[in-house]
Structure 1
């Protein structure tokens, strides 16, 4: 059970619901401008906290995610798992080290999750969701507030954005809630590091 919760946290699951899409307002700081700038960020890192709540239990941990073109590194550390998990992926495959559990390899994170837990999660899409963007190649239903995503339904998942940074260009999400059935994942981002813009933005929890 601890392995399952750790991997769910590390790969940031979300959930399904329905809502009425809204249309973003045109003008300065438009949704189109935000999309262009956020999509241009191919190298970035975030540092924050992540919490998971199910119908039976809840956990929290520190989240550190480094993303570069072609590879990524996600570290979960803190009370959950007494050491957490390290996920490292690239075009050649993925390696997951779980403290006290072992080391696992696969050609894709989706395949490894399916093998270990019996379900699959679109990790690649999450690299867009965390930046406040819909993932390419899948239909989606957005809800907007002030030309930013407030809700996003895509691939059976529901993502709710309740806060964006007022610093940096663009101001990226700071608080994200992701839901599916009785599972709720909350991500609070304390710091973004944007290598392509040679800047970082932070806000205390």
Structure 2
């Protein structure tokens, strides 16, 4: 075989090999979940975690977006939003019965009702205690709900007047967790894109 044909063939094989490897690494398969009960039990045990990503809020009054960091330690949480949403940043810390919102340049605000405080300080609100469950792909306990499933994972959830749609999941360590969620109630729509999940031990 002429030398230039050998070189061309080798280059073609290397190109095909490289494309195949790239496609495999970029699209890892999500493991099949054996049952919804198994998935619920595994997610319920994930009580200490961090996530980072972006949040977008659409309402009749305004459209906002921000970078998001959320740390959950059992029932205690710290949620930080930076970027256009808070004109420098907003930090939410809380636990059952108490919440504090700190806004850059404005100070600290406290209340016993997370929803009322978020509405007063940020202009929008989510049920934070339920959201801790929804973000893991679970319905919140002690409240009635309706759900639609897909491959033993939540596809849609209707609870406490909110419609939660799970648009994408991603594998993180041993957990299959939501990576894109959209929440809506009345004219408010919140989209959460999660780039990284980190279980804390």
TM-score w.r.t. length of structure 1: 0.75
Are 1:57 and 2:62 counterparts? yes
Q: Which residue of 2 aligns with 1:137?
A: 142
Structure with greater helix share of residues: 2
Any idea what the Cα deviations from partners look like across 1:17-37, whole Å, max 9, x if unmatched?
xxxxxxxxxx95211111010
Give RMSD over aligned pairs: 2.3
Are 1:32 and 2:5 counterparts? no
Q: Per-residue deviation at 1:92?
A: 6.7
**Greater C-alpha radius of gyration:** 2
- Work out the CA distance in 1 between the residues paired with 2:68 and 2:105: 19
Q: Per-residue deviation at 1:195?
A: 1.4
3-state SS, counterpart of residue 172 of structure 1: strand
Tell me: CA distance 1:134–1:28, structure 2 relative to 1, closer, same or farther (3 Å): closer
Tell me: CA distance 1:186–1:117, structure 2 relative to 1, closer, same or farther (3 Å): closer
Q: Which residue of 2 aligns with 1:80?
A: 85
Q: 8 Å contact 1:48–1:190 — kept in the other structure?
A: yes
Q: Which structure is higher in RCO with an 8 Å CA cutoff and minimum separation 6?
A: 1
* 5+ long unaligned stretches in structure 1: 1-26, 197-205
Q: Which residue of 1 aligns with 2:169?
A: 164
* 5+ long unaligned stretches in structure 2: 1-31
Tell me: CA distance 1:91–1:152, structure 2 relative to 1, closer, same or farther (3 Å): closer
**Which of the numbers 187, 192, 199 marks the counterpart of 1:194?**
199
3-state SS, counterpart of residue 38 of structure 2: helix
Q: Per-residue deviation at 1:70?
A: 3.4
**1:64-75 equivalences in 2 (<5 Å):** 64-75=69-80
Q: Which residue of 1 aligns with 2:9?
A: none
Q: Which residue of 2 aligns with 1:125?
A: 130
**Which of the numbers 40, 45, 54 marks the counterpart of 2:50?**
45
Q: 8 Å contact 2:79–2:93 — kept in the other structure?
A: yes
